[in-house]
A and B are shown apart, each in its own frame.
Chain A
Amino acid sequence: MASISLKKLNKTYGALTVVHDIDLEIADKEFIILVGPSGCGKSTTLRMIAGLEEISGGELIIGGDVVNDVPSKDRDIAMVFQNYALYPHMTVYKNMAFGLQLRKASREVIDQKVQEAAKILDITHLLNRKPKALSGGQRQRVALGRAMVRNPEVFLLDEPLSNLDAKLRGTMRAEITKLHKRLNSTFIYVTHDQIEAMTMADRIVVMADGHIQQVDTPQNLYDRPINMFVAGFIGAPQMNMLPSKIEKRGEGYVAVFDGRVLPIPASFDKARIAPYEGKEVIVGIRPENFHELAPGDINPDNIAPFDAVVDLAEPMGSEIHLNITAGNKAMTVRVSPRFKAKTGETAKLVVDTTNMQLFDKETERSILY
């Protein structure tokens, strides 16, 4: 059992607090990803779990025991470092065997475990090489292997893919996900890459400025962001944020952005919207909720026309990312590759408001959740 609890965890350097009162429950065998921009405290949090940073305040509980003062080696954890931290003077085999040797495992046990891990990671042919003679991807596998041989309850991974090229990163993402299923242990993974977070995690912890912003499954984070930071951080291209005014129309409400009327779906909780009537809010609409206008598309419930000037078209092959301007606001929308747009001309688009987000302008928090 390796459930992990962080209770009011703090990290301070003198007067500077880099992690503020983190509360987090991580279930046994869960794959959890801490994500956020540089300096948000995600790595520091991971390093506190690893025992590499002293905990300034709060409690860290692993498997039911408070381990604040337990040294790293006795926490039954293994870590994969961003720069791999392989021992340069040892062969791959020795790198992987080192932890077991220090724990006085027998030679047969060590050999069996190293060979087994090497086989899973497909690095058997590299066992006699030194790290210097390996490519980045191979080093990454060795670092994973070194963590695996000890069968730890918890794997900590600190930006393990950030030094790999884009293609290799894609492959390794899938492999780490498979590895998690196979090893059946708890994974805590730190990254600044929201794509890694979305594709791999059971749950994502979004952090900013040393605070947890939101903890949820990838899809829930995408569909129901709790504030503008999460809404902007998850999803690429970013969600478009449109300053709009809430107005009542008949039974329901609409948001008015630069003269364009955006219907608020009837399914939204009216009690939450009512206090904002006549006030400015921020409407969040994801790029994929814009489409090229087709006759008969308009629906007063959730589809409204949205004309905008095209600044730039970026063809991605499967789709086009259009940079457009509407009401002095630069936005990005995703349209089909057959969309004919000319720079400087007005494109006739529609917006689907079914999944729109509404944020309080002052607090930046979601009005809906």
Chain B
Amino acid sequence: MANSTIAAGDTPIVTRRRKVVSRRRRRVQDALVAYSFIAPNFLGFAVFTLGPILFAFVLAFMHWDGSNAMTFAGLDNFWRLFEDKAFIAAFWNTIIYTVVSVPATLACALGLAILLNQKILGRDFFRTAMFFPYVASLVAVAVVWNMIFNPEMGPVNMLLYTLGLDPKDMPGWAADRHWAMVTVILFGVWKSMGYFMVIYLAGLQGINSELYEAADLDGANAWQKFLYVTVPQLGPTTFFVTVMLTIQSFKVFDQIYMITQGGPGTSTLVLVYHIYNEAFVSWDLGYSSMIALVLFFLVLGITVIQFRRQKED
């Protein structure tokens, strides 16, 4: 020990500095190699995502129809939000859609995952079947959905009829302003529950089976084991699923476009659909960017709150 200390002290200062320099150079080289790997993907991201996002931020404070010259609008677009009845409807519809569809999808995904984590006959088939809506073409699936929920001759209403429901009280589904939101929510839940089921399945399989055995010996029944072992152990999974679902719900567009086009009236108009209308139907790109900005801060705010709460736990 003592010897080696002296030896280190004897090293000439010049050589030591050279060593430091070469180490720094090597670190720079390593970093360059790493950046060169990231570069192709980042270029794509910059051109097609980051650039348009930044452009939208600017556009939110402009008047622009896409062909004539852009003019500065100041906060005009922002004040317009409060007078735009369609925006207010879209805002609340988006909130309702999220508040209902997130817990519903979560519950369905978890329920399916628990069922399909048991050793049941045809388990792999059912797992695939449940995942299928997620990968199936949305256009095709929406067409089928429209047929199934057709108010006059769809099998759902046929079934309700045979169950004794009066045709007068029959839900009109997508064509009925009271039922349209229910229809798109049902569709959303059905479409994405398979994907989140897979995530929950992975979470379930990560739970140490000894915990269930310990709970067995402690006298827990199936429900208590679910409550005191499964749910807490799935905490991180549930957090992930909730964040992803919330973001996804705020961005809901395609199924509305396919099934209701925001109607009847404004009963299923949501923010992204409104953005689409303003931008590509009315060609008011400045105002639609302002709505996009509102959506951005909404999603950001909720994600930050969720992350904070997760940390507290």
Contacts and interface: CB of A to CB of B under 8 A. Distances in A.
Interface in B205-221: 208, 210-211, 213-220
B210 A102 contact: no
A195 B219 CA distance: 34
Given A73-B216, A73-B217, A98 B228 contact: yes
B218 A102 contact: yes
Nearest to A74: B219
Contacts of A88: 232-233
Interface residues of A, number: 21
A89 B216 contact: no
Interface in A149-168: none
B235 interface: yes
Interface residues of B, number: 17
Given A83-B208, A85-B208, A51 B216 contact: yes
A85 B210 contact: yes
B235 A81 contact: no
A89 B218 CA distance: 16
Interface string A92-136: 000000110011000000000000000000000000000000000
Contacts of B210: 81, 83, 85
Given A85-B208, A87-B229, A99 B213 contact: no
Contact of A52 (B208, B216, B224): B216
Nearest to B211: A85
Contact of B217 (A79, A83, A86): A79
Contact of B218 (A51, A52, A99): A99
Given A85-B210, A85-B211, A87-B211, A99 B219 contact: yes
A4 interface: no
Contacts of B208: 83, 85
20 contacts: A50-B217, A51-B217, A52-B217, A73-B220, A77-B217, A79-B217, A81-B210, A81-B213, A81-B214, A85-B213, A87-B211, A87-B215, A87-B228, A87-B232, A89-B232, A98-B218, A98-B228, A99-B219, A102-B220, A146-B218
Those 9 A-B pairs whose CB atoms lie nearest each other, nearest first: A99-B218, A85-B210, A73-B219, A89-B232, A85-B214, A102-B219, A72-B216, A72-B217, A81-B210
Interface of A: 50-52, 71-73, 77-79, 81, 83, 85-89, 98-99, 102-103, 146
Given A50-B213, A51-B217, A78-B217, 18 more contacts: A51-B216, A72-B213, A77-B217, A79-B217, A81-B210, A85-B210, A85-B214, A87-B211, A87-B214, A87-B232, A88-B233, A89-B232, A89-B235, A98-B228, A99-B217, A102-B219, A102-B224, A146-B214
